[in-house]
Amino acid sequence: MAVDTQLRASEIKNVLLGEIERYDQALGAEQVGEVLEVKDGIARIYGLMGTMSSEMLEITPSGGRAVVTALALNLEEDNIGAVILGDWTVVQEGDQVRRTERVLDIPVGPEFLGRVVNPLGEPVDGKGAIAASGGRRQVDIVAPGIVLRQPVKEPMQTGVKAIDALIPIGRGQRELIIGDRGTGKTAIAVDTIINQKGQGVVCVYVAIGQKNSTIAGVVARLEAAGAMEYTIVVAANASDPAPLQYIAPYSGTALAEYFMYTKNAEGKGTATLCVYDDLSKQAVAYRQMSLVLRRPPGREAYPGDVFYLHSRLLERAAKLSDEMGGGSLTALPIIETQAGDVSAYIPTNVISITDGQIFLESNLFYSGVRPAVNVGISVSRVGGAAQIKAMKKVAGKLKGELAQYRELEAFAAFGSELDPVTQRQLARGARSVEVLKQKQYTPMPVEHQVAIIYALTNGYLDEVDVAQIPAWERDFHVYLRTQHAGVLQSIRETRELTSEAEEGLKSAIATYGGLFADPHSPVGTDDYAQNPILQETDADRHMSEEQLQLAARPEANAAGARQSY
């Protein structure tokens, strides 16, 4: 009997040893936190010591629901204040929380071009998943230092005459677009994106706190112009939680930075353009989060670090050094003002951060001056360094003339008698205002801009009636393209107004002026403008047939403008 017992004991021992040898599951320890409280998209979490600021946390809701991501913002002594990036209503007290040991990041890669994504890099356009080949990139990183940069010296053409001539923007610059609601801020940004077609520029449009219908309208406009091929849209609409609206600009910048830092076969980085529409709504979302997190409020109830919110974002705009590939990120932040008050907290913050601002005025907009750029108080701190030599040559004195015109216009309103010099200045100013008007979503190539501004500043339009300026300019571009294409080609390729090109331009303007003044000439009539042989191609104007038709109907164009702002 004793022998049987010993046999059984040895058998059991052997079985146990065999099972132990076969056991290969690795043992590991992990920190598990617990949700103490959840309200208004904010979770208070106990435990998880060692959590990093802006680290992603994974909350496992009860009931087998999908894991919810949260972002750790408040690191307190015994708990963490985290904002929930998604549906916070499924999170309950007692739910388990785990660390990811990763700061907030998103997938990046060229596969995002032409797509609409949310701030987490997830597609929202119904075109399927995105297989990102560029890995993941942190959304909030330190901006490149001084040694890694070079001066801004390449133009970022917007296609808008008033901006390219008077307030030039360079690649790597930060230029604020500021104005009241409905004054054309989004239109200028979209024009700039459309104008980058064929320029090798990758564009990112970040929509913050806008209606879905508004975002869909912008996407449709970009698709109609063929601009979505090189554009990524990051959408955080008005119904999205405040945390998503808060991180949207950083996510858009991370996508743009991937292209800026990634070198091609020639060792060159890519020029990128990032539009933030608009940062006022991001600041409001950040204020909402901060108040719920019980951070101390400051001026206008914004938290004390709201300046840092925008400065660390916009400092990432840069023109990289040649050693870094020479890529660039140009930032066009948009700020909405209330009743033209640019002295409010957020507008003054962003004005002080950026390299210049484009002021859009309601009075100008409703008086028919569109784009409604107030040339007197708009400025670009990069200036002529961001212009081609041809534009610098022809537009040098235009801004001063326009500023003088605005002063004289107010003086002339009293009806007093004016001397001939003042009358000439007023006449030239009225024609300048008319020339700088431009239809929405019709960006103009820089060589055409140089030609019409040359005609303006050299007095060729002084004898043309102000009411006839739009027809004169419209047919002048057609005439140049069909009869003097060599002049335009010279400006486009050399980026200068050479003496030969200037002589050719003078001759073309003189001949065209005679044709326009001749009552028997078709120039200046609808017959000439609508001649299909003389019309620009879609490729020339970067416009689709739908947009060409829209531009031809002023009333439809105005309605579209009201919908898009």
Pairing outcome for strands 201-210 and 136-138: unpaired
Token reading at 73: 């913002």
CA 195 to chain centre: 13
Q: Which domains does the chain have, with CATH numbers?
A: 32-102 (2.40.30.20), 107-388 (3.40.50.300), 392-564 (1.20.150.20)
Amino acid at 164: D
The angle that helices 499-517 and 469-483 make with each other, rounded to 10 degrees, is: 130
Query: Considering the entire predicted model, what is its pTM?
Result: 0.88
**Per-residue pLDDT of the chain in tens (565 residues, 90 and over written 9):** 455 555 577 788 888 888 788 777 766 677 899 999 998 889 999 989 889 999 999 999 987 788 999 999 999 988 999 999 988 889 999 999 999 999 999 999 999 999 999 999 999 999 999 999 999 999 999 999 999 999 999 999 999 999 999 999 999 999 999 999 999 999 999 999 999 999 999 999 999 999 999 999 999 999 999 999 999 999 999 999 999 999 999 999 999 999 999 999 899 999 999 999 989 999 999 999 999 999 999 999 999 999 999 999 999 999 999 999 999 999 999 999 999 999 999 999 999 999 999 999 999 999 999 999 998 889 999 988 899 999 999 998 898 888 888 888 877 777 667 788 888 889 999 999 999 999 998 999 999 999 999 999 999 999 999 999 999 999 999 999 999 999 999 999 999 999 999 999 999 999 999 888 877 777 766 666 655 545 554 344 443 444 434 433 434 333 343 333 3
| Residue 42 parent element (H or E) | strand 42-46
- With tokens 């040991």, the residue in question is 101
Catalytic residue among 312, 381, 406, 495: 381
3-state secondary structure 27-59: CCCCCEEEEEEEECCEEEEECCCCCCCCEEEEE
- Alpha-carbon distance 185 to 180, whole Å? 9
Beta bridge partners of 60: 96
Known catalytic membership, residue 381: yes
